[in-house]
Amino acid sequence: MQIRDQLYIDGRWLAPAGTQTLEVINPSTEMVIGRIPAGTAADAEAAVAAARAAATAWSETAPAVRAAYLAKIQAGLKARADEIARTITGEVGMPLKLSARIQTGSPIAIFGLYAKLAAEFPFEEQVGNSLVLRDAVGVVVAITPWNYPLHQIAAKVAPALAAGCTVVLKPSEVAPLNAFILAEVIEAAGLPPGVFNLVTGLGPTLGEALVRHPEVDMVSFTGSTGAGVRVSELAAAGVKRVALELGGKSAAVILDDADFAQAVKSTVNACFLNCGQTCTAHTRMLVPESRYAEAAKLAVEAAQGFTLGDPLGDTAKLGPLTSAAQRQRVRDYIARGIAEGAELLCGGPEAPAGLPTGYYVKPTVFGRVSPASTIAQQEIFGPVLAIISYRDEDDAVAIANGTPYGLAGAVWAGSDERAQKVARRLRTGQVDINGGSFNLLAPFGGFKQSGNGRELGRYGLEEFLEYKALQLRPAKAA
């Protein structure tokens, strides 16, 4: 049991203003594994005040010095990597081997990336008779989700610090314990007081108080589209900059000349990663009508290889969903798919056998899914794949683009050239070409209701910078 009864504000661990607490539940055991403060508006006020007081000095700190701090944070996370992996597996339910590689490895790499970028980035340049400066936005509120908790924190905190911004972090109350480890690492790295602040609590109380605060210059939010709309509404009153990474309903388009065995297996893997609790999950598999039966058979075979079980064990490929509410939401979507006439190929809404405890859902594949149906249009956030057939290439592109989202996707074809040609027609922020891997240097973000702004690489750093032009006089002749 981890009892966290203090918040990290202005370089110190302080008691929260209120006495309410929130429980952290292990999704595989359904046991309480931690408690955190339920922060209030008074805690938001203290954290923002600390960040504002530190903002000028931090923004004027040399980029090389900021880079050195980020490198220290990276080293501190590396030293506690095993602890972080076990903590996140306990909070989220991802199998431990995957947590070590993804949930821990990714944030470590991100802090290293921004340590390098902070030292190299051109914060000023001459353009004609103007000296163009890139100044820190100021005080940033970072609100992060539970599915990849420390990765999403790193993708906001590291570039914000590299840019010279000060940060108030509010992690998800569902998976907050890893954020306390980060705060301890930052404290040990000696980051100046107020540059990084950690407060925990609920969105409608603490989160909204932070977003509304007049001394906050920018809000970076990752979560549901509905919550992103609310953040935008609240921030608009102060004309704050807002960066949003929201929902997704990504399509993997498998063209008729693709390697179907590889494409279908990879799509199922991309759909079921983290038990489907991934915003970029390839939850729609688009296949030619003439090869539907082949694709459906391959998808079922791949799905049946995803064994459920204890995420701390050695055999499970899928752990539980993160909460009881999430399990019920996913089961309701599966039932809706059946009711709307999709063909249930494997899985289903019933509890999986042999797992009486834990928030488990059967890996599920639907076939003959209508592009307009609920399970083809709405983000389920669980291990549910929808197979949709198409007539021709134009039809496939129209179906892929035919949801409110545009975060990610994939195209599989007999050649990279053909796949790229189709990918250029997709209205989405990221497209994997024949299994191309995720790249931390590339921009990450979405079109349409998947949000705005970009994270990662130099693009993520630029989100936290304002442009200023100094118009220079011509040099006097000698």
Angle, alpha carbons 96-100-106 (nearest 5°): 140
Q: What are phi and psi of 154, to 5 degrees?
A: -60, -40
Q: Which is it for the CA torsion 186, 190, 196, 200, positive or negative?
A: positive
Residues forming a β-bridge with 439: none
Distance separating the N- and C-terminal Cα atoms of the chain: 75
Instruction: Judge whether 290 and 256 are in contact, CB under 8 Å.
Output: yes
Residue where the block lists tokens 């006020």: 45
Query: What DSSP string runs through 416-429?
Result: HHHHHHHHTT--SS
Element (H, E) at 384: strand 384-390
The C-alpha atoms of residue 177 and residue 326 are separated, in whole angstroms, by 19
φ/ψ bin of 190: left (φ > 0), alpha (ψ from -120 to 50), beta (otherwise) = left
The C-alpha atoms of residue 245 and residue 239 are separated, in whole angstroms, by 19
Please pick, among 275, 279, 379, 455, the residue that the annotation labels catalytic: 279
In three-state form (DSSP H/G/I as H, E/B as E, the rest C), the secondary structure along 270-286 is HHHHHHHCCCCCCCEEE
Instruction: Judge whether 460 and 442 are in contact, CB under 8 Å.
Output: no
The C-alpha atoms of residue 54 and residue 139 are separated, in whole angstroms, by 9
218: CB partners within 8 A, 6+ apart: 137, 138, 139, 140, 141, 165, 240, 241, 242, 243, 464
The C-alpha atoms of residue 94 and residue 151 are separated, in whole angstroms, by 14
Instruction: Judge whether 348 and 374 are in contact, CB under 8 Å.
Output: no
Q: Return the closest-CA partner of residue 456 out of 91, 154, 73.
A: 154
Q: What are phi and psi of 141, to 5 degrees?
A: -100, 125
Please pick, among 91, 165, 173, 245, the residue that the annotation labels catalytic: 245
The C-alpha atoms of residue 405 and residue 427 are separated, in whole angstroms, by 9
Is 245 catalytic? The answer is yes
Is 45 catalytic? The answer is no
In the structure, how many helices (H) and strands (E) does the chain have? 16, 23
267: CB partners within 8 A, 6+ apart: 252, 254, 282, 285, 299, 385, 410, 412
Active site residues: 245, 279
